[in-house]
Amino acid sequence: MGVFSFNYLLRRLLVFFLTIWVAATLIFIIPRLAPGDPIGAMIARMSRQEGFVENADLIIEAWRKRFGLDDPLYVQYFRFIGNTLRLDLGYSLANFPAKVSELVGRALPWTIGLVGIATAIFFTVGNLCGALLAWRRTPRLLKIMIPISMTFTSVPPALFSLLLVYIFGFLLPIFPQVGAYGRGMVPEFTLEFFGSVLYHGFLPAMSIVLVTFGFWALGMRGMMVTIEGEDYMILAQAKGLKPFYVLYRYMIRNAILPQMTALAVSIGTLVNGSVLVEIMFTYNGMGSLIYSGIANQDFGLIQGTSFILIVTSALAVLIIDLTYPLIDPRISLEGR
Amino acid sequence: MAEQSKDAAVAGGTKKAGLLNRFDNPWLNWKFLSGASIMGFIFFLIFLGNQFWDTELALAGSSPLNMPPLGFTNWRDQEGIPEHPLGTENSGRDMLALLIVGTPRTIGVGFIAATVGMGVGIFLGFLAGFVGGLVDDVIRLATDVTITIPSLLVLIVIQSVLPYIDLVTMALLISMFAWATPTRYIRAQVLSMRESGYVQMARLSGVPTRDIMYREIMPNLLPYLAASYIGNMTGAILSAVGLELLGFGPQRIPSLGVSIFFSIEAAALLRNMWWWWGIPTVILAIVFIALLLINLGLDEIANPRLRKAN
Cβ contact, residue pair A34, B163, below 8 Å? yes
Residue A31 parent element (H or E): helix A6-33
Residue A313 parent element (H or E): helix A299-327
* Residue type present at position B60: A
A316 contacts in chain B (CB < 8 Å): none
B184 contacts in chain A (CB < 8 Å): 265
Q: Determine the angle formed by the axes of helices B274-302 and B218-245, rounding to 10 degrees.
A: 160
Task: For residue B50, give Cα distances in angstroms to A241, B279, B298.
Answer: 64, 18, 31
The residues spanned by each domain of chain A are 100-334
Q: Nearest by CB to B234, which of A22, A154, A275?
A: A154
Rounded distance between C-alpha atoms, residue A169 and residue A317, angstroms: 34
Q: A43-100, pLDDT tens digit by residue?
A: 666 665 555 556 666 767 776 666 666 677 788 888 888 888 888 777 776 676 778 8
Rounded distance between C-alpha atoms, residue B303 and residue B224, angstroms: 9
Cβ contact, residue pair A154, B284, below 8 Å? no
Closest chain A CA to residue B296? A218
B150 contacts in chain A (CB < 8 Å): 267-269, 271-272, 275, 309-310, 313
Q: A250-305, pLDDT tens digit by residue?
A: 888 888 888 988 999 899 999 999 999 999 988 889 999 999 888 877 778 888 99
Mean of the per-residue pLDDT values of chain B: 84
Q: Nearest by CB to A299, which of B147, B160, B278?
A: B160
**What is the full DSSP assignment across chain B?**
-HHHHHHHHHHHHHHHHHHHH-TT-TT--HHHHHHHHHHHHHHHHHHHHHHHS-GGGGSTTSS-TTPPPTT-B-TT-PBP-TTSTT-B-TTS-BHHHHHHHHHHHHHHHHHHHHHHHHHHHHHHHHHHHHH-HHHHHHHHHHHHHHHHS-HHHHHHHHHHHSS---HHHHHHHHHHHHTHHHHHHHHHHHHHHHTSHHHHHHHHTT--HHHIIIIIIHHHHHHHHHHHHHHHHHHHHHHHHHHHHTT-S-SSS--HHHHHHHHHHTTTTTTT-HHHHHHHHHHHHHHHHHHHHHHHHHHHHH-HHHHHT-
- Per the CB < 8 A criterion, the answer to whether B173 and B158 are in contact is yes
Residue-level pLDDT at A69: 63
ipTM: 0.85
Cβ contact, residue pair B246, A267, below 8 Å? no
Rounded distance between C-alpha atoms, residue B123 and residue B135, angstroms: 12
Cβ contact, residue pair A15, B148, below 8 Å? yes
Q: Nearest by CB to B148, which of A162, A290, A317?
A: A317
Tell me the shortest Cα–Cα distance from A187 to chain B, in angstroms.
Answer: 28
- Alpha-carbon torsion (B264, B270, B274, B276), positive or negative: negative
What contacts A249, CB < 8 A, 6 or more positions away? none
Cβ contact, residue pair B156, A162, below 8 Å? no
Architecture of domain A100-334: Orthogonal Bundle (1.10)
Cβ contact, residue pair A269, B272, below 8 Å? no
Tell me the shortest Cα–Cα distance from B270 to chain A, in angstroms.
Answer: 8
Q: B219-277, pLDDT tens digit by residue?
A: 888 888 888 899 999 999 999 999 999 888 877 778 888 889 999 888 888 888 888 99
What contacts A290, CB < 8 A, 6 or more positions away? A275, A279, A301, A302, A305, A306, B153, B156
Cβ contact, residue pair A314, B148, below 8 Å? yes
Cβ contact, residue pair B153, A309, below 8 Å? yes
- Please work out, in degrees rounded to the nearest 5, the angle formed at the alpha carbon of residue B256 by the alpha carbons of B251 and B259: 50
B162 contacts in chain A (CB < 8 Å): 33-34
Rounded distance between C-alpha atoms, residue B263 and residue B273, angstroms: 8
Closest chain A CA to residue B281? A159
B151 contacts in chain A (CB < 8 Å): 268, 272
What is the arithmetic mean of pLDDT over B72-80?
77
Cβ contact, residue pair A225, B308, below 8 Å? yes
Phi-psi domain of A240 (left: phi exceeds 0; alpha: psi -120 through 50; beta: other): left
SS3 of A244-287: the string is: HHHHHHHHHHHHHHHHHHHHHHHHHHHHHHHHHHHHHCCCCCHH
A208 — pLDDT class (breaks 50, 70, 90)? very high
Task: For residue B222, give Cα distances in angstroms to A68, B190, B234, B273, B298.
Answer: 52, 12, 18, 45, 10
Cβ contact, residue pair A225, B305, below 8 Å? yes
Tell me the shortest Cα–Cα distance from A191 to chain B, in angstroms.
Answer: 31
φ, ψ of residue A70 to 5 degrees: the values are: -80, -20
φ, ψ of residue A203 to 5 degrees: the values are: -65, -45
Cβ contact, residue pair B289, A218, below 8 Å? no
Cβ contact, residue pair A221, B160, below 8 Å? no
Phi-psi domain of B66 (left: phi exceeds 0; alpha: psi -120 through 50; beta: other): left
Best A272, A308, A312, A324 residue to mutate vs chain B (most B CBs within 10 Å):
A272
- Per the CB < 8 A criterion, the answer to whether B113 and B234 are in contact is no
Cβ contact, residue pair B260, A162, below 8 Å? yes
Residue-level pLDDT at B22: 60
Nearest CA-CA partner of B235 in A306, A266, A26: A266
Burial of B121 (0-12, 13-18, 19+ CB in 10 A): buried
Rounded distance between C-alpha atoms, residue A221 and residue A126, angstroms: 10
Tell me the shortest Cα–Cα distance from B269 to chain A, in angstroms.
Answer: 7
pTM given for the model? 0.85
Would you say residue B14 has pLDDT above 60?
no
What contacts B274, CB < 8 A, 6 or more positions away? A166, B268
Best A21, A119, A155, A313 residue to mutate vs chain B (most B CBs within 10 Å):
A155
B5 — pLDDT class (breaks 50, 70, 90)? very low
- Per the CB < 8 A criterion, the answer to whether B106 and B241 are in contact is yes
**What is the full DSSP assignment across A35-63?**
SS-HHHHHHHHHHHT-SPPTTHHHHHHHH
- Bigger pLDDT: A121 vs B67: A121
Tell me the shortest Cα–Cα distance from A194 to chain B, in angstroms.
Answer: 28
A320 contacts in chain B (CB < 8 Å): none
Would you say residue B52 has pLDDT above 90?
no
The CB-side HSE value for B71 (13 A sphere, CA atoms) comes to 3
Cβ contact, residue pair B149, A154, below 8 Å? no
Tell me the shortest Cα–Cα distance from B22 to chain A, in angstroms.
Answer: 25
A291 contacts in chain B (CB < 8 Å): 246
Best A159, A203, A281 residue to mutate vs chain B (most B CBs within 10 Å):
A159
- Bigger pLDDT: A63 vs A158: A158
* Residue type present at position B51: Q
Rounded distance between C-alpha atoms, residue A131 and residue A243, angstroms: 13
Rounded distance between C-alpha atoms, residue B222 and residue B3, angstroms: 36
Cβ contact, residue pair B160, A294, below 8 Å? yes
* Residue type present at position A145: M
**CA-CA-CA-CA dihedral for A144, A150, A152, A155, to nearest 10:** -150
φ, ψ of residue B97 to 5 degrees: the values are: -65, -40
Residue-level pLDDT at A160: 93
Would you say residue A335 has pLDDT above 60?
no
Nearest CA-CA partner of B122 in B203, B193, B189, B202: B189
Cβ contact, residue pair B288, A309, below 8 Å? no
Residue-level pLDDT at B41: 95
Nearest CA-CA partner of B180 in B123, B131, B132: B123
Cα separation of the two ends of chain B: 47
Q: Nearest by CB to A19, which of B149, B162, B308?
A: B149
Tell me the shortest Cα–Cα distance from A33 to chain B, in angstroms.
Answer: 8
Q: B126-148, pLDDT tens digit by residue?
A: 899 888 889 999 999 999 999 99
Q: Which residues pair with A91 in a beta bridge?
A: A99
A148 contacts in chain B (CB < 8 Å): none
